[in-house]
Every structure is written in C-alpha cells, then in structure tokens.
Amino acid sequence: MSRSGPPTGPGGITPAEAHRLAQGGHALLLDVREPEEYAREHAPGALLLPLGQLTPRTRLPRRRTVLAICRSGNRSLVAAGLLAAHGIDVLDVTGGMRAWRQAGLPTHSGTGCPCGPAT
C-alpha cells in the first residue's frame, strides 16, 4: 500500500476495494463512529474505536494498512489524518457506511457481533 511522491495526507479507497482488502486480511477496517452507530450497523470485521478515543498512543498494526470508516466519511477523514501524522499507513473509506450500503456490501448489526472493539 505504498504511495509515491510527497506526503499529501491520507488517500481514499472505495468501499468495494476496502471490503476486498479487509476480507483478504491485507488491511484492518477501523470504524471510528460511536458505539450506538456501530451496534446498529457496521462492516464485517470492523473494529470499533470512536474518533474521540483515538490518540497517538492507540496501538494499531503497523504491518497492515488501516482503513478508516465512519457514517459518511467526515470523521474517518479526520481519523486518517491523525493516524497518518503518526506514521500509520492509512486510507479513508470514501463515503463511509452510506457508500458501503449503496455498494451492496455486507453489514453486521447488534452488540453480539464478534467484530468487537479495538484493543
């Protein structure tokens, strides 16, 4: 997932490509919405870490690209910028869960889902 040229901030990725990478184990899908939003609906395998809890000390994998997602793409873009500033290889899922749904991609719901919060 390397990008060439001078750093210009995090790049974007389509929901379909994000789904493909996450399902293949090549990327970590990080949902930065609030727990209530996540419980209503989220992408399979997405880990929950609300934007307000994201800090420079947050432990995230450095060997896989992080794919930040939210409802519409605003919070995930902020999260991607914060992560990129701390050396994390990160992409913003363009359009968020709205675009994910519109693309017809699968979703999970409920608090019993095995996806769980980030640790």
Residues identified as active-site? 70
CA 42, CA 108: separation in Å to the nearest integer?
Answer: 5
Burial of residue 100 (number of CB atoms within 10 Å: 0-12, 13-18, 19+)? buried
